[in-house]
Structure 1
Amino acid sequence: MKKIGGTFLIALLAGAITLGSYKLFIEEPTQVVSTPVQTQTTPAYTPVNYEALAAAASGVDFTEAAERTVNGVVHVKNVQVYKQPRNMMEYLRGGGQTNKGIVGAGSGVIISGDGYIITNNHVIDGASEVEVTLNNNKTFMAEVIGKDAKADIAILKIDAGEELPYIPFGDSDATKVGEWVLAVGNPFNLTSTVTAGIVSAKARDIDERDANFQSFIQTDAAINPGNSGGALVNIFGELVGINTAITSQTGSYVGYAFAVPSNNARKIMEDIMQYGSVQKGILGVTGGTLNAAIAEDQDLSTTEGFYVASVEYESGAEQAGITTGDIIKKLDNVNITKFSDLSGYINTKRPNDIIQVEILRDDELITLPVKLVKSVTFDIERLGIQVKNASPKDLNKYKAKNGVVISQTLTEAMKRYRIEGLVISEIDDVMVNSIDDVKEIFKNKSANEPVSIVFVDQKGERNRFIFD
């Protein structure tokens, strides 16, 4: 009996092996037709938040900072009035039914108990009305107090009839790379949301082609569309930045975002409230970030700092004795390793402020007190150029008797003409000697009138151009 059982077992195993081999090597794959059935949707997998785990492991608690700040962030709606013509005749005459619509939205930060709010200029740009909703769902119409389009900052005011929770300013210069921060926004008009990250970098310029050099705080805290104008705060609940931009191919957060430093935003707010416009002090130097190539070409002993290529006429730098070839290493106690460090710090200052400028000259460190002067430039936005007062050196170079100098081209269309540095001697047959003359001409000129400009080129020849 035992022999029969053993034989049966051997036969059974042989049959299984034979069948397996047939299935593996001979039998054609079977086409399986599935019939749809009602199933429950599987919840989407949520990845582990390693930053939160790291924060917990290091003993950092975000809850207190979040509680202090969520009620200080608001939802901002851009409401515009538009005409809806019913026929071609109304369209040609600019008529039609008047309607209102929300064309954009973002976030804002309450910075005082009486209702002053900071947001991004692009959030409220072109608005006929601005509507603000608090974290408790109360809604108010806001007044636009002022704005700085170049810095992308706008100041709003609401009258809530009560003391509002607000977020106090922190010192953005004191923030450190690697420091924990929270991005607080109200993108969907629900309640404020909070994301956590660190300061990834400081003094970032995200568009080197832009003439308006900015100095941003970079963070990896998640910021998405609708969070523009929201708060970047430290773990103490202090405002260190105004969330402004993300750079990605999709338009959504991809790991880094940018904020206007709070010191810059605060200065803009104080200028607008005190003077009615932003007060810009200038150092009066042109040049760029020092690098290995420049250091080798100029036989310099350092590769960090701001290399002074020229000093502007009648500027504080000229009066203090800064010269071409100097390397700016510090402004007050702020280290300068690149141009955005310099521009970011200068943007927190006003005309007549005195700063201590440490320069490297002939391998010797020298500190010079420099009094900042008022920016003596004027943007002719219609032409896409910026002009400044001409120095005797500028006039001699172009053999011109009078005029202003084109200091920057502001649009891509004008950049291709390579006219920076040229002298404008006449506008609409009127001789100009300063930017005040230019301002006066354009103050009394309508937008649809043609403009006649006389340029003086490098050969001293006069060239007239008509801009429609």
Structure 2
Amino acid sequence: MKKIGLTLLTAFVGGALALGAYKVIESKYADNMSFEEKQKVYYTSNKAAAPVVSSTGALDFTEAAAVATPAVVYIRTTYSSQSGGSQDKLEQMFGDMFGQRAPQRGPQMASGSGVIISPDGYIVTNNHVVEKADKITVATNDHRTFQAKVIGTDPNTDLALIKISADNLPILKLGNSDEVRVGEWVLAVGNPFNLNSTVTAGIVSAKGRNINIIGSENNDDDNPFGRARNQTQPRLNKAIESFIQTDAAINPGNSGGALINTKGELVGINAAIASHTGSYEGYGFAIPINLAKKVLNDIKKYGTVKRGFVGISFTELNPDVAQQLGITNNNGLYVNDLVAGGGAEQAGIKKGDVIEKVEGVAVYESSDLQERVGRLQPGDKINMTVLRDGKEKNFEVTLKADATPTNRTAAVSKSAEELFNKLGASFQPLTQAEKAKFHVNSGVKVTQVRPGRVFDDFEIPVGSIITSINKSPINSVADIDKAITNLRNGNLVISGYYPDGTNFNNMFQVQ
């Protein structure tokens, strides 16, 4: 009996030590985990978050809705007159109808939705929901409110990552949008017309839709596509569109909300509607979550998106285009030109080739190529099959980084979150090599600059080094938060170096 007791005691002590070590390691490396890794830890350790059994057979969506609604938040944004925020005619019209009359003077406001994807407060929404906002207020399903800061944005996919200071938040499990099938039941969860926690049902009508909405102002009367939000958009280059089309009702305010399957898994981020009136007329469009995963992980890790490029311009083929080009192929992408030194040119692809397959999957539209490439990093390889002189040829293309400057894109009063948003930049800690290069002991690198904000006004470009704010050394975003929390006399002094090594010392007056 003594031996058995000793064995049990040894096992208990060993297990306790292992568990303690695991918790220490988990805490130490949590910040470096991808969102998928964080979610695996969450669902492994949280027995209450067991996967929901599909309810398609009984057409009962209650379980999926119960899982989703706590993780979908209401986002309210405030714009100063200088920010260019303007209330949409829809908001004025529906504001009166739903008792949300818009103020005629003072700061202008808009609203949208977001999805909590990490228990420590990271939220995905649309870029157009938070773009140029001075103040971002997040209301959770249990009626708590927080001020949010913009971690980073990607206008080319219309995605943004914001964060609130909270812990142990309910999250939505990231699904697999590649497995979504046309005809499958889905639910849209969001806050249309300021009606919190609204759930609508429909089916997936199509996949891989490219509707040319990202970057378009859509002010033409004949253009049926509009965003489910209250702001207009400037035209952008290099947009990536491969929407999941659904007939679940989506209206203004649904932007940034969740599209989920009947298992309660997040498969898309609602972004746009097809409508001649601005409200729901039959179809909505969501950004596939598999594309969003890459974008959001990049923003969290780098402050911007590391995007690889094939290095071609092309035309989608159809019978009319094929006839004009004098070719027999009606499907695929016709290569019009190649970027000198780009991945496609180096791999051997030529002008006049027709791209038929990517990774063995047939290509019919630009979205079939763009979404696949949009998930990859510079240096990653992608297999492409082209038709040349009537014969198929296979090429392995190494994606190249964009040769043009990083896009300058998105997001005071005096709270730390509002002021952080007004800075309008994203940051990444300096490596030891970068510190040695600039001869500094502290600093963060600017990885993104959003137009109309402080860094844009001061012409502090991407690649600049911020060494101190109000004489406080800066080594991380947390240091920035601390430095801007208590300002004296409303002055904000930002010091650092431009990419060419020239130093700067700018002062900003907080209003």
TM over 0.5: yes
For residues 380 and 239 of structure 1, do their structure 2 counterparts lie closer, same or farther at Cα, with a shift above 3 Å needed? closer
Residues 1:321 and 1:232: Cα distance change in structure 2 (over 3 Å): same
SS at match of 1:378: coil
Q: Which amino acid aligns with 1:75?
A: Y
Alpha-carbon distance, 1:271 to partner: 0.9
- Describe the shift of the 1:256–1:190 C-alpha distance in structure 2 as closer, same or farther (beyond 3 A): closer
Distance change (3 Å), C-alpha of 1:103 and 1:198: same
Q: Following TM superposition, by how much is the alpha carbon of 1:170 offset from its aligned partner in structure 2, in angstroms?
A: 1.6
1:73 matched to 2:78? The reply is: no
SS of equivalent residue, structure 1 residue 377: coil
Which of 270, 275, 285 is residue 302 of structure 2 equivalent to? 275
**Residue 197 of structure 2: which of 192, 196, 207 is its match?**
192
- Checking the alignment, whether the CA contact within 8 Å between 2:347 and 2:396 is kept in structure 1 is yes
**Closer, same or farther: CA 306–125 of 1 in aligned 2, 3 Å:** same
CA–CA distance in structure 1, aligned partners of residues 134 and 276 of structure 2 = 31
**1:264 has 2:291 as partner:** yes
- Provide the residue aligned with 1:234 in structure 2: 261
- Residues 151 and 300 from structure 1, CA distance in 2 versus in 1: closer, same or farther, beyond 3 angstroms? same
Inter-partner Cα distance in structure 1 for 2:204 and 2:289: 14
Q: Which residue of 2 aligns with 1:248?
A: 275
Letter in structure 2 aligned against 1:285: I
Matched residue, 1:128: 134
The 8 Å contact of residues 108 and 231 in structure 1, kept in 2 or not, is answered as: yes
Q: Output aligned runs, 1:70-219, within 5 Å.
A: 70-81=69-80, 101=107, 103-160=109-166, 162-187=167-192, 191-207=196-212, 211-213=237-239, 214-219=241-246
Q: Which is worse superposed, 171-180 or 246-255? A: 171-180
Root-mean-square deviation (CA), in Å? Answer: 2.9
| TM-score when normalising by structure 1 | 0.63
Residue 336 of structure 2 corresponds to residue 337 of structure 1: no
Paired residues, number: 318
Post-superposition shift, 1:124?
A: 1.4
Give the % identical residues: 47
Deviations 1:161-180 (A, max 9, x none): x3111112222223222222
Are residues 136 and 364 of structure 1, via their aligned partners in 2, closer, same or farther at CA, if it must alter by over 3 Å?
Answer: same
1:385-409 Cα deviation digits (max 9, x unpaired):
xxxxxxxxxxxxxxxxxxxxxxxxx
Equivalent runs, 1:452-467 vs 2, <5 Å: none
Tell me, in whole angstroms, the C-alpha distance in 1 between the residues paired with 2:267 and 2:407: 33
Q: Which residue pairs with 1:26 in the alignment?
A: none
Q: How much does 1:189 deviate?
A: 5.4
Q: How far off is 1:251 after superposition?
A: 0.6
SS at match of 2:280: coil
Task: Name 1:292's counterpart in structure 2.
Answer: 319
Does 1:317 find its partner at 2:344?
yes
Does structure 2 retain, via aligned residues, the 8 Å contact 1:355–1:369?
yes
Residue in 2 that maps onto 1:385: none
1:372 aligns with 2:386: no
- Give the 3 Å change call, closer, same or farther, for CA 62–365 of structure 1 in structure 2: farther
Q: Do the aligned partners of 1:77 and 1:102 also contact (CA within 8 Å) in 2?
A: no
Structure 1 pair 364–377 and aligned structure 2 pair: CA distance change class (3 A): same
Which residues of structure 1 form unaligned runs of 5+?
Answer: 1-54, 84-98, 383-438, 445-468
Distance 1:380 1:342, change over 3 A: closer
Asked if structure 2 preserves the Cα contact closer than 8 Å seen for 1:219 and 1:257, the reply is yes
CA drift at 1:186: 2.5
* Conserved 8 A contact 1:288-1:308: yes
Partner of 2:173, secondary structure, is: coil
- SS of structure 2 residue aligned to 1:60: coil
1:38 paired residue number: none
TM-score with structure 2 length normalisation? 0.58
Partners of 2:273 and 2:284 within 8 A in 1: yes
Q: CA deviation at 1:357?
A: 0.9
Q: How far apart are residue 108 of structure 1 and its match?
A: 0.3
Counterpart residue identity of residue 167, structure 1: L
| 1:191-240 per-position Cα deviation (integer Å, ceiling 9, x unaligned) | 41111111112222222886444222211110000111101111211111
Q: Tell me the CA shift for residue 106 of structure 1.
A: 0.6
Shift, 1:187, TM fit: 3.5
In structure 1, the residue corresponding to 2:314 is in which secondary structure?
strand
Instruction: Work out which of the residue numbers 335, 338, 344 in structure 2 matches 1:308.
Output: 335
Asked if structure 2 preserves the Cα contact closer than 8 Å seen for 1:133 and 1:189, the reply is: no
Letter in 2 for 1:314: G
User: Does the residue aligned with 2:148 lie in a helix, a strand or coil?
Assistant: strand
Conserved 8 A contact 1:177-1:202: yes
Q: Determine if contact 2:191/2:253 at 8 Å carries over to the other structure.
A: yes
Contact 2:258–2:266 (CA under 8 A) maintained in structure 1: yes
Computing the radius of gyration over CA atoms, which structure comes out larger, 1 or 2?
A: 1
Q: Quickly say closer, same or farther: Cα 1:188–1:256, change in 2 above 3 A.
A: closer
Any residues of structure 2 matched to 1:349-368 within 5 Å, and which? 349-368=376-395
Taking a change above 3 Å as real, the CA distance of residues 348 and 57 of structure 1, as seen in their structure-2 partners, is closer
